[in-house]
Amino acid sequence: MSDSTSILRDQVAQAAGRSSPLRIVGGNSKHFYGNPQPCEYETLKTGIHSGVMDYAPEELMLRVRAGTPLAEVKSLLGQEGQMLGFEPPDFGGNATMGGVVAAGLSGPRRPSAGSVRDFVLGITLLTGDATVLSFGGQVMKNVAGYDVSRLMTGAMGTLGVILDISLKVLPRPGEELTWCRRADAAADESLLGQLRRNGLGLSATATVGDRFYVRASAEADVEGDVVDGALWDRLANQQLSAFEGGNLWRISVPRTAPTFMEQAAVVEWEGALRWLLDPAEDPRQTFAGAGVSGHATLFRSDEGDRDDRFHPLDPLVGQIHRRLKQQFDPVGIFNPGRVNWYSNAN
């Protein structure tokens, strides 16, 4: 529980002075995600900068330092009957809040409640020239200046070191149940439609092999067996055997698109998130076709040296990315190479 801003600032200033790269690490729980980085990079550890700065349950607002463990935040919110609406995965339990926001990965509740960036209210940032800047704030609505805090969400630490984060939190919903039944695309889709229309608190879905799982308000009368809701945690953290393989691709598509629906090992998010194991071809080729929207990421790979794991960007969008990188991290010290958005190939 301490404020280590000055230590982190000094480390960044020195690294910038020497133009030497920094690998930003919180709990290292998502080390597998993103392109591999040379091990000689110096590590900047955000774990030393931790602690809850402000938590006001009646404001639905939480402000924490980046190194605060996700587990600590979950239990704190739980005591007040609240939660992080985006149900982030913790991949092994050491995740920190800085990493949660930097990676921008949301869990099973995402389609109904929103994604990480939807809940970010403000961020304090350490930029490449070692200045500390604040964007956004602690209030629910704020349009003063550009929304830099949401820009940092999912930026994989490539634009700066997140020092602290203010988040909107949600009250826990009333009692929810999880049902399991035999997957049947048409019947499952019509069930989702019914749950939505009747306001029955649809909050997660998954198709794993021939099983379809759905979570909704206990009031819903779903045909199927009621099963343990702990499933969703195992799903978010990819602890199900269906995720085991060499190359795991994350496919994000419009929920009703046919893209890879048949081949997917696991389907989440009411259809919008599909996981593909060891496809014969790079799935990104599929998206080159006209009218196929979405993107694919090589999420985990046993080919350690794959450095093109993220989807290529449109050339114009890629140009804006390179300029933003230059703006926030002019010397290029933050997590170089972790993502492939800034290369000229884009």
Segment 106-165, which members bind other proteins (CB under 8 A)?
Answer: 110-111, 114-115, 117-118, 127, 131, 133-135, 137-148, 150-151, 153-155, 159
**Residue list 72-91, contact with other proteins (CB under 8 A):** 81-82
Residue 67 CB-density burial (10 A; 0-12 exposed, 13-18 middle, 19+ buried): buried
> In the complex, what is the shortest distance from the CB of residue 39 to other proteins, in angstroms, rounded to a whole number?
26
Single residue of 10, 254, 308, 345 touching other proteins by CB under 8 A: 254
Given the complex with other proteins, which of 170 and 227 has the nearer CB atom?
Answer: 170
The Cβ-side half-sphere exposure at 63, using a 13 Å CA radius, reads 17
Single residue of 5, 31, 255, 343 touching other proteins by CB under 8 A: 255
Number of C-beta neighbours around residue 68 at 10 A:
27
> In the complex, what is the shortest distance from the CB of residue 234 to other proteins, in angstroms, rounded to a whole number?
21
**Contact status: 282 vs other proteins (CB under 8 A):** no
For the chain, report the end-to-end CA distance as a whole number of angstroms.
Answer: 41
**Contact status: 221 vs other proteins (CB under 8 A):** no
Cβ 71 vs Cβ 90: under 8 Å: yes
x/- letters, 311..340, toward other proteins (CB under 8 A): xxxx-xxx-xx-xx--xx------------
**Contact status: 1 vs other proteins (CB under 8 A):** no
Given the complex with other proteins, which of 145 and 304 has the nearer CB atom?
Answer: 145
**Contact status: 281 vs other proteins (CB under 8 A):** no
Cβ 125 vs Cβ 152: under 8 Å: yes
**165 - beta bridge partners?**
64, 123
Size of site (CB under 8 A) for other proteins? 78
> In the complex, what is the shortest distance from the CB of residue 241 to other proteins, in angstroms, rounded to a whole number?
25
**Residue list 193-212, contact with other proteins (CB under 8 A):** 196-200
Piece in contact with other proteins (CB under 8 A), picked from 20-28, 55-63, 92-100, 231-239: 55-63
For residues 181 and 164, give the distance between their C-alpha atoms in angstroms, rounded to a whole number: 42
DSSP-assigned letters across all residues of 217-286: ETT---SSEEE-TTHHHHHHTT-SGGG-SSEEEEEE--TT--TTTTT-SEEEGGGTEEEEES-SS-THHH
**Contact status: 34 vs other proteins (CB under 8 A):** no
Coil, helix or strand at residue 117: helix
**Residue list 284-313, contact with other proteins (CB under 8 A):** 293-295, 297, 310-313
Single residue of 7, 13, 51, 57 touching other proteins by CB under 8 A: 57
Given the complex with other proteins, which of 243 and 341 has the nearer CB atom?
Answer: 341
> In the complex, what is the shortest distance from the CB of residue 5 to other proteins, in angstroms, rounded to a whole number?
15
Coil, helix or strand at residue 328: helix
> In the complex, what is the shortest distance from the CB of residue 251 to other proteins, in angstroms, rounded to a whole number?
9
Cβ 158 vs Cβ 338: under 8 Å: yes
**Contact status: 28 vs other proteins (CB under 8 A):** no
Residue 88 CB-density burial (10 A; 0-12 exposed, 13-18 middle, 19+ buried): buried
Strand-strand pairing, 42-45 and 22-25: parallel
**Contact status: 60 vs other proteins (CB under 8 A):** yes
